[in-house]
Amino acid sequence: MSSQLTECKHNVVYAGVINLIRGFGIVGAVDAWTCTLCSELWCDEKRMEHQELPPEVGLPPRTQGADWVALVCDDGSKLDWNLLQLKKGQTFQHACKVFTNCNLNVTDEWTLECDTKHPGFHRLIRVRPNLNKSIYV
């Protein structure tokens, strides 16, 4: 597959969207594009609170072997989310508007284990299997 990634003359088309919904409103969306030749996926986040254009032009950089996921963080009163590229078994440091200084581990089932005891939760939403769906967060 790695030779496909470096040799493909990507023919990119829009693949779909995931809407992230809380209560009665959309808090954000993930747009996805795919290559019709090698099926590689690229994603871009759209946040409802700001609509600035990203500084880069074109498709976002891709991490080989990683899946695109929306990381949702919720403590019951505050919610935040980030678009990331992660791999099963990966451990990473995370801080957001809801939680600070968490070490998160991605399990084989695409759930998260957190080393910090705090109220609330972290949740992963994989992009590819959820395209063109609305996910309630």
pLDDT > 90 in the chain, percent: 57
8-53 confidence digits (pLDDT tens): 999 999 999 999 999 888 999 999 999 999 999 999 998 876 555 5
40-51 confidence digits (pLDDT tens): 999 999 887 655
Counting other chains too, the contacts that 80-84 makes at CB distance below 8 Å and 24 or more residues apart are: 81/20, 81/27, 81/28, 81/137, 82/45, 83/30, 83/43, 83/44, 83/45
pLDDT of the residue at 38: 93
Does pLDDT of 135 surpass 80?
Answer: yes
Cα torsion angle, 45, 50, 51, 57, sign: negative
Residues forming beta bridges with residue 126, ordered by sequence position: 69
Task: Using pLDDT thresholds of 50, 70 and 90, give the confidence band for residue 1.
Answer: very low
pLDDT of the residue at 3: 44
pLDDT of the residue at 64: 87
For residue 27, the surrounding DSSP H or E stretch is strand 25-35
Does pLDDT of 61 surpass 90?
Answer: no
